[in-house]
Amino acid sequence: MADRTFTSLVSRVSPSVPGCPQVVVEEHLRNSAIEACERTLAFRFEQPSIRLTSGVAEYGYETPSQTEVHAILTVRVNDNVVKPVTLEQLHDLYPKWPDNGADELADPRFVTQLDPDNFALAPIPDSTTTYDIDMLLALKPLRSATDMDKTVLDELEDVVVHGALQQLLVLPEKSWSDRELAAYHAKQFLFKLSERRARTNLGAARASMSIQMRPLA
């Protein structure tokens, strides 16, 4: 995947916050990008297949550099759908997990996110079959990231810019502080965020609407 730096958006923000150091602008652009990814789930990544190991419940994600996993969207093990659940739900389903005995190993049917870097499966894989897991993940940049996927940042650019400006313009006792202008960018941020979230959920490929007359009898 090609990447685009957060610095590339600084020129869109700086004129509205004259005198603000570039490093501060970049920090707020990154924070805004993280929030946009969290709330739209637009940064989607097909993780390469991972070979599971018998008796092992926990695994690390294999994601691009400078990213972490925000949410699990879809999961398949050997082309069978695996349901994402919370860790609490997983323990309700398997009270002894992960201390399962050898006789309780089986085909994995549930997956849970332990943290942004690791996930776990239940039941724990057995040794009777070779298991490969395929996952569609929603990612977000790390707090230390300098860039992110270009296609996603291009798509979210307006959202990210408005989000950064709404935060920068309310910083206290700064020469560029402007709460009225911050309120405008906050509204634009929410509006464009909702639009991008809907586009992500519904997709952009939709047929045009048409009306067909029906006979009365």
* 131-162 pLDDT tens trace: 999 999 999 999 999 999 999 999 999 999 99
51 is a domain residue: yes
Please check whether residues 73 and 130 belong to one and the same domain. yes
Report the number of distinct structural domains present in the chain.
2
The residue among 37, 40, 39 whose CA lies nearest residue 68 is: 37
Q: For residues 44 and 34, give the distance between their C-alpha atoms in angstroms, rounded to a whole number.
A: 13
26 is a domain residue: yes
Please check whether residues 126 and 165 belong to one and the same domain. no
Please check whether residues 170 and 135 belong to one and the same domain. no
Place of tokens 């652009």: 29
Please check whether residues 60 and 104 belong to one and the same domain. yes
Q: What is the pTM of this model?
A: 0.88
Place of tokens 């695996």: 82
The confidence band for 209, taking pLDDT boundaries of 50, 70 and 90, is very low
Domain final position from 119, 140, 161 = 140
CB-based contact 99:41 (threshold 8 Å): no
The residue among 35, 45, 34 whose CA lies nearest residue 1 is: 45
Please check whether residues 49 and 111 belong to one and the same domain. yes
Note the Cα 133 to chain centre separation in Å.
Answer: 19
Pairing of strands 44-51, 110-115: unpaired
149 is a domain residue: yes
211 is a domain residue: no
Stretch 183-194: mean pLDDT, rounded? Answer: 96
85 is a domain residue: yes
CB-based contact 106:159 (threshold 8 Å): no
CA–CA distances in Å: residue 145 to residues 32, 72, 119, 166: 12, 21, 22, 21
Domain final position from 114, 140, 166 = 140
The confidence band for 203, taking pLDDT boundaries of 50, 70 and 90, is low
Domain coverage including residue 181: 3-41+142-200
Task: State yes or no: pLDDT of 88 exceeds 50.
Answer: yes
pLDDT at 204: 54
Please check whether residues 162 and 178 belong to one and the same domain. yes
Q: For residues 110 and 77, give the distance between their C-alpha atoms in angstroms, rounded to a whole number.
A: 10
109 is a domain residue: yes
119 vs 216: which has the higher pLDDT: 119
Mutual orientation of helices 150-168 and 179-202 as an angle, nearest 10°? 150
Q: For residues 182 and 78, give the distance between their C-alpha atoms in angstroms, rounded to a whole number.
A: 50
Please check whether residues 85 and 31 belong to one and the same domain. no
The residue among 142, 124, 141 whose CA lies nearest residue 133 is: 124
Pairing of strands 110-115, 83-84: parallel
The confidence band for 214, taking pLDDT boundaries of 50, 70 and 90, is low
205 is a domain residue: no
